[in-house]
Every structure is written in structure tokens, then in C-alpha cells.
Amino acid sequence: MEFLSSLISMPWLDYSISGLVIGSIYALMAVGLALIFGVANLINFAHGAVFTVGAYIGWTCLVGLGLPLGVTIVAVAAVSGGVGALIEWLAIRPLNRQSRIAPLLATIGVALMLDQIIHIVFSPTPRALPANIPDWRIAVGNGTIGAIDITIFATAVISAAALYAFLFRTKLGMAVRATAQDDDAAKQMGVNINAVNMTVFGIAGALGGIAGLLVGLYYNSIDPNASFQMMLKGMVAIVIGGMANVPGAIGGGLILGLIESWGIGLFGASYRNLFAFVLLLVMLLFRPNGIFARGKERAAEPMTGTFVTQTKAITLPRPLIWVLIGVAVILPMANMPYITQVMTNAYLYGLAALALTLVSGTVGLVSIGHAALVAIGAYASALLTTKGLPVSLGIVIGGAAAALIGTALAYPAFRLRGHYVAIGTLALGEIVALVILNWEGVTNGALGVFAIPPLEIFGLPLYGTKASYWFVLALMLGMAGLQVRLLKSHLGRTWKAIREDTVAAETYGVSSNYYKGLAFGFAGFTAGIAGAVTAHQWSFINYDSFNLLFSVLILTMAILGGLGNVSGAILGAILVAALPEMFRTLAEYRMLFYGAALVILIRFRPQGLLGSG
């Protein structure tokens, strides 16, 4: 009873008001994503970066130039709208004829670049945004509403109204709606699809930028590292609302804002993002068309087999492979400890990329949550060995844990396809990170795990960089060899059949879930031991060691080498992980380098350097 009465006495009205205010900002983010998903059939991962651009333009106008809020809002809308349109023109339009995953990956690259540019121009630390909005609050029932709440909510409502006027009262707006329903038919009516796409990216950018400014006003500060989180919030909102459904996106944003606000009231702020992602997963699994759709059926995505670009893979001649392996083996003899260390690191990335290229390339489930598998392996081994378990056993258990937990977590997502796999795996990755952060009793929470014992084989410690180099190299080559063998077996053919056409494969009696499970299991084991060895190498890990950026990096490596290509994954890992380390100037602008690499690669060599297998 005491619990109940304390529950009732909580300031629910205040929670609801702040939930609606934040929700209206999420709604602005979501509307842009929904519009873009509608006309371009694309989840725009750069939407969060445009949000951040808006926040900084707002800061420049309000603080730097001392402009009034009204002018600032217009300026923010104009600049971030322009950035949105530029993204369409430079990064998306050239990919017209490529596989469906290509533009999605390009927006990830653009997001990395924009974020780093903002870091370079404005410094990577948050800064204050004094808004000069009067701080009065009026009492409403047992809660209060302030001028800031009204300002934000009104701005969001006016923006939404302007969007509606555009969509339903103008000719171009009508073309946008028509294109969203059937772009081919719209084209045959004489609609210039490129102009429509650019318009939509512009509008989405403007709304996203305004959202950035509003969040800044609400918290009195702006954070250059908020991009991905905000983009994800918008994405959760459109999943709730039904992807391309604009009114649904608004509803989804408000619902997400309310649930978050209530949830924080009940459980505390560190759980904030967990609600969003659990909600996302639940929606994907049970109502993939959103809560406003009548049916439960997910609209068919005609993308099987075309989601990932397929080409003929380049097979390296056997003698060359042996020569390369030979060079790798004798590399430490050159006595350049820095290079040896960098390469050890690259091989660990290579292990993780091997796992991803199997799941995403061979089986066709493009994962943006790969870091979760690595993190599970790392934590399992780190936690067990700090309690006395031998390291070599810890590594194996780490791999097994990642295989089991990873497969179990991903299992419900096996029936998803295309974009939904990308969203679902992303949510899984975030959820694993958040569980690690919040499960303090086991994972030590935000502090992380310290003093993880160094690498050893059966009690024989590996002293020095050379020994660990050889150990990691052997591990990577061993797993790569095993993967090649598997791909040549009937298992490999079945995996590819599922990738090409899951339905067709099932009609031939292939139980696709079973084979997807095997792929995830094998990949999970590889990724898990990669994580475990990394943990012993670093001796310290925390919830942020294997974050979204890590997942994106691994994906970049796998794409660079050619999705599904075993030697490609290793080559990609070496290029992406080692190159920036070799040139210190590059290291400083690492994200810019990764982002640009991803964008350029997808534009000019979407099949990767060695071709996708």
C-alpha cells in the first residue's frame, strides 16, 4: 500500500507535460524521417547530424550574433534545410541504381562526417545556450507549465501545421505524397522525382534543425555528441507510427516522449534510452506496421536479394595468400613495436569483421548492432577471469556466451528483412550496452571492469607485443580458414540461398530460422572471442568500449572488403583500423576519414575492394 500511495503521489502531471514537450521535439525529428522513408525508401541516419547542425546554427544566431529567437528559428530552418538538400544531392542521388542498402550506408557515412566537422568547428564539448525565455511557470492542477514549454510546443505545432499546408495545399506537396505512394507512377505523371526527393530532404532537414534548436533551449545547452541518440529517437517514433506515416510519426513522437518521461519518473534517468529501444524492439516484433495501422502484416519489402550488391568475388591466388600470411608472420621481426601493436589491433577488428561479413554478407542480414556480440564476449571473459578463471578458458566462454546470448537475442528478429533488420540489430546493440550500463551488480555499471588479466595460453602468459601479435594472428587466420571451409560446404550454399530469396529457400524445405541461427551462432563465437581477446589486451573495458560507432566501423570494414568476402573482411579491417594509426594527422580526423571512406566507397565501389561473395 505504501508503494501504491507513493506511486500515486508522484508528480504525474509534470511528467506528462515534460513528456509532451520532449515528445513534440521527437515528433519533429520523426516527421522528417517519415517523409524521407516515404519518398526515398530510406532510413536517413544523417538526420541526427542535421539536428546537431541546427543546434549549432541556433547557438551562433542567439549567442554569437545576438539575434532574436524568431529570426533564429528561420535561420536554423534555412541552413539545416539546405544541409538536408545537399545530403540528398551529393550522397543519395548518385546511388539511384544501387542496392537498397547503399543509400542507408551512405547516410551513416555522412553522419560521421558532419559530426566530426561540427567537432572541428565548434569543439567536441557541450556548450551553454542561454535562451532569454522568461522563467515563469503557471500552476496547472498539481503541476506547472512554463514559458519554455509553451514556446517549444508552439514552435513544434506551427512547424507541423506549415508542413501540412505544404503537403495538402500545394502542387509540390501533392507530388510528394504521390511519390511516397508510388514513385514510378508519379514519374509517369511527369513528376521530377529528384526534385521531390531534394525537397523532402530539405524539409526534413529544416524540421530536424529546429528540433536541435528546441532541445538546446529546453536544456539550456547543446551537445555535439547527441546526433545518433536523437536520430534513434526519431526512428523509434516512426516505427511506433508506421514508418512512412507522417501523422503517425507525430503520434509516435508524443507517445515516446510520454513513455520516456513516465519511465524516468519511475526508474531514474539512466534508463531513459532503454525505454526507447525496448519499445522499438517490441514494435518491430509485434506491430511492425506501427500502432496506427489496421493490419498486423508488415508491408512486403521487395528487396530480397537486392538489398546487398552482389558481384563476382575476386579470389586471391593461393600462392599470394601464403606470401601474405608469411609476411604477416615475420612482421614483428622488424622490431617496430608500434606497428606490431597497431596490426594486432587490426587483426582483432578483422576477427569481428569476419563475423559480420558472414551474417551481413553471406546471409544478408545487415547488422548495425555487431558491437553487442563483441561486448558480450568481452564482458563474459573479463568478469570471469577477474574472479579467477584461467584466461584461455575465459576467451572460449566469451565466444560461447556471445554465440548463445547473441543468437537468442537476434532470434526474434530473424523474420525481419531489409531495413527492419538494420533497425532491429541497432536496437539490440543499444540495449546490450544499456543493460551493461545499468546492471551494476554484475557489470560494475558505468565504472567498467578494471585489471583484466593479460593474455595467456593454458597458463603460459604472453609477454610482450610480439607474442600477443602472433596469438591474435593465429586466432584470426584459424577462424578465417574455418569460415572458408564452412562457406564451401552445403551450409554455405544454404546461407546464400536464404540471402537470395528466403521464401524460395523455404519452399525447398530449408528452415531459414535454423540456418540463420547457425550463422549467428558461428559469427557470435568469432565476435565473442574477438571481444574477449580485446578485453585482455586493453585490461579495461566499459559499456562504451563497444558502441554504435564500433558497429559502424566493423560494417565499414566488411563493406570495404566486399560483403561476404572472407579475405575482404581482413583486408578491410587492416585498411580501416591501421591506416589512420599510421598517419597521425588522419587519426585526429578519424571520423571524417571513416565517413568519407564509406561515402566514396559506396558511390564508386559498392561491391567492395575484393567483391562481395
> If binding is defined by CB under 8 A, does position 181 make contact with another protein?
yes
**Alpha carbon distance 301, 229 (integer Å):** 26
Q: Which residue among 28, 113, 186, 254 contacts another protein (CB under 8 A)?
A: 186
**Alpha carbon distance 335, 351 (integer Å):** 24
Shortest reach from residue 259's CB to another protein, in Å: 28
> If binding is defined by CB under 8 A, does position 189 make contact with another protein?
yes
> If binding is defined by CB under 8 A, does position 190 make contact with another protein?
yes
> If binding is defined by CB under 8 A, does position 287 make contact with another protein?
no
Give every CB contact of residue 557 below 8 A, 6+ residues apart in sequence.
Answer: 349, 350, 353, 356, 569, 572, 573, 575, 576, 577
Give every CB contact of residue 255 below 8 A, 6+ residues apart in sequence.
Answer: 23, 237, 240, 291
Shortest reach from residue 175's CB to another protein, in Å: 6
Point out which span in 176-184, 268-276, 380-388, 483-491 binds another protein (CB under 8 A).
176-184
Point out which span in 173-181, 406-414, 468-476, 487-495 binds another protein (CB under 8 A).
173-181
**Alpha carbon distance 122, 124 (integer Å):** 7
Closer to another protein at the Cβ: 178 or 491? 178
> If binding is defined by CB under 8 A, does position 188 make contact with another protein?
yes
Point out which span in 184-192, 215-223, 466-474, 550-558 binds another protein (CB under 8 A).
184-192
Point out which span in 64-72, 122-130, 175-183, 217-225 binds another protein (CB under 8 A).
175-183
> If binding is defined by CB under 8 A, does position 321 make contact with another protein?
no
Q: Write the interaction track for another protein spanning residues 83-122; mark x where CB under 8 A is met and - where it is not.
A: ----------------------------------------
Reduce the secondary structure of 377-432 to three states and give it as a string. HHHHHHHHHHCCCCHHHHHHHHHHHHHHHHHHHHHHHHHCCCHHHHHHHHHHHHHH
Beta bridge partners, 144, equal 139
> If binding is defined by CB under 8 A, does position 170 make contact with another protein?
no
Shortest reach from residue 97's CB to another protein, in Å: 12
Written as nine digits, the cell of 483 is 569460415
> If binding is defined by CB under 8 A, does position 191 make contact with another protein?
yes
Torsion sign across C-alpha atoms 600, 605, 606, 608: negative
3-state secondary structure of 496: helix
Shortest reach from residue 192's CB to another protein, in Å: 5
> If binding is defined by CB under 8 A, does position 178 make contact with another protein?
yes
Closer to another protein at the Cβ: 94 or 445? 94
Point out which span in 2-10, 118-126, 190-198, 600-608 binds another protein (CB under 8 A).
190-198
Closer to another protein at the Cβ: 181 or 315? 181
Shortest reach from residue 262's CB to another protein, in Å: 33
Written as nine digits, the cell of 596 is 568519407
Q: Which residue among 175, 359, 375, 530 contacts another protein (CB under 8 A)?
A: 175
> If binding is defined by CB under 8 A, does position 509 make contact with another protein?
no
**Alpha carbon distance 260, 21 (integer Å):** 12
Q: What are phi and psi of 456, to 5 degrees?
A: -155, 155
Helix runs in 439-583, H state only: 440-443, 464-488, 490-500, 502-507, 512-538, 548-561, 566-573, 579-582
Number of Cβ within a 10 Å radius of residue 139: 9
Q: Which residue among 63, 174, 331, 518 contacts another protein (CB under 8 A)?
A: 174
**Alpha carbon distance 101, 106 (integer Å):** 9
Closer to another protein at the Cβ: 38 or 224? 38
> If binding is defined by CB under 8 A, does position 484 make contact with another protein?
no
Closer to another protein at the Cβ: 191 or 380? 191
Closer to another protein at the Cβ: 175 or 558? 175
Shortest reach from residue 500's CB to another protein, in Å: 17
Reduce the secondary structure of 522-545 to three states and give it as a string. HHHHHHHHHHHHHHHHHCCECCCC
> What is the greatest pairwise CA distance in the chain?
79
Residue 82 one-letter amino acid: G
Point out which span in 64-72, 178-186, 360-368, 511-519 binds another protein (CB under 8 A).
178-186
Binding site for another protein (CB under 8 A): 171, 174-175, 177-178, 181-182, 184-192
